[in-house]
């Protein structure tokens, strides 16, 4: 019985509960590694992943609810310390080989994540715009990965725009889609406007040969998905199914863009 309780505590403390956050973290890091793999870039990605994992135990440590048992707090501290040490060692190994410029986006990401944690403690993290902090922060870390591969600044910027063309409209879409499932009033304006805006920008980059043409296809798929998703409501779909579908769309986004960058099409 005690063993089962310990396993339950570990599961509760060691891993983030929001399944959708896994996609937002893994997608940009995976895409960056696929198109600009270096040893230091890989270390940066691993460091970022352990920082992501550390979010859950630190939440448990700062949680003031009375039902947050002392044993849970102790376990959370040990796991948080473990994640922090591993992340710091990985980052130190990367820093020792790279110029400071490479880590400026990483520092921006850490600041954004810290602000998000503060907003979360104030219970403001479910605000539509504060929901953008975490997914956008990860895109900055992905730019550190491509900087480590000696990409030129203009190409790094375009790559970052490609990444946020997934994270920003998707955040707006999921916010409204969940409201739709809860029978709440929704607004399509931000989702459609952001989707169309990023599509137009990526088309411009494609025409100017700053981004692959396949990036246009990837963003177009996301726009059509959001347009249809907010136009029709199905009783058969659930939040869990939406999450699974987003993993599929995220995977497609990564694969299509990776092929585009690698083959330059």
pLDDT of residue 13: 74
pLDDT of residue 146: 97
- Please list the pLDDT of the chain residue by residue as tens digits (265 residues): 455 555 666 766 777 766 667 888 999 999 999 999 999 999 999 999 999 888 888 887 777 664 456 677 788 888 889 999 999 999 999 998 888 889 999 999 999 988 888 887 776 656 777 888 889 999 999 999 999 999 999 999 999 999 999 999 999 999 999 889 888 889 899 999 999 999 999 999 999 999 999 999 999 999 999 999 998 876 677 888 888 899 999 999 999 999 999 999 9
Residue among 209, 138, 206, 122 nearest 170 (CA): 138
Three-state SS annotation for 172-228: HHHHHHHHHHCCCCCCCHHHHHHHHHHHHHHHHHHHCCCCCHHHHHHHHHHHHHHHH
State pTM to two decimals: 0.91
pLDDT of residue 18: 64
Burial 39-52 (b: 16+ CB within 10 A, else e): ebbbbbbbbbbbbb
Residue among 5, 102, 11 nearest 53 (CA): 11
Give kind and range of the element (H or E) at residue 10: helix 2-14
pLDDT of residue 202: 98
Residue among 165, 181, 171, 173 nearest 240 (CA): 181
Domain regions of the chain by residue span: 1-151, 153-265
Say how far apart CA 28 and CA 160 lie, in whole Å.
9
Say how far apart CA 171 and CA 15 lie, in whole Å.
21
- The DSSP annotation for 24-67 comes to HHHHHHHHHHHHS--HHHHHHHHHHHHHHHHHHHHHHHH---TT
Burial 215-246 (b: 16+ CB within 10 A, else e): bbbbbeebbebbbebbeeeeeeeeeeebeeeb
Q: What are phi and psi of 63, to 5 degrees?
A: -70, 125
Measured between its terminal Cα atoms, the distance across the chain in Å is 57
- Neighbouring C-beta atoms of residue 81, cutoff 10 Å: 12
Say how far apart CA 62 and CA 119 lie, in whole Å.
12
């Amino acid at each position: 019985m005690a063993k089962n309780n310990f396993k339950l505590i570990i599961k509760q403390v060691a891993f983030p509960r929001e399944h959708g956050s896994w996609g937002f973290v893994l997608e940009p890091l995976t895409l960056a590694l696929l198109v600009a793999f270096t040893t230091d870039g890989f270390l940066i990605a691993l460091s970022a992943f352990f920082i992501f994992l550390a979010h859950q135990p630190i939440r448990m440590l700062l949680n003031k609810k009375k039902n947050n048992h002392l044993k849970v707090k102790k376990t959370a501290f040990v796991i948080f310390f473990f994640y922090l040490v591993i992340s710091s060692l990985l980052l130190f190994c990367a820093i020792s080989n790279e110029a400071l410029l490479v880590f400026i986006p990483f520092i921006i990401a850490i600041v954004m994540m810290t602000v998000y944690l503060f907003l979360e403690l104030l219970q403001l993290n479910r605000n539509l715009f504060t929901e953008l902090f975490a997914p956008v922060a990860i895109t900055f870390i992905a730019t550190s990965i491509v900087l480590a591969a000696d990409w030129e600044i203009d190409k790094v910027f375009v790559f970052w725009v490609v990444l946020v063309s997934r994270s920003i409209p998707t955040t707006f879409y999921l916010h409204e889609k969940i409201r739709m499932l809860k029978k709440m009033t929704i607004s399509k304006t931000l989702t459609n406007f952001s989707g169309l805006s990023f599509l137009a920008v990526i088309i411009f980059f494609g025409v100017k040969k700053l981004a692959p043409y396949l990036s246009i296809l990837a963003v177009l798929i996301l726009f059509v998905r959001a347009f249809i998703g907010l136009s029709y409501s199905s009783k058969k779909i659930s939040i869990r199914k939406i999450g699974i579908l987003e993993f599929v769309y995220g995977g497609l986004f990564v694969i299509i863009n990776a092929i585009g960058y690698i083959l330059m099409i």
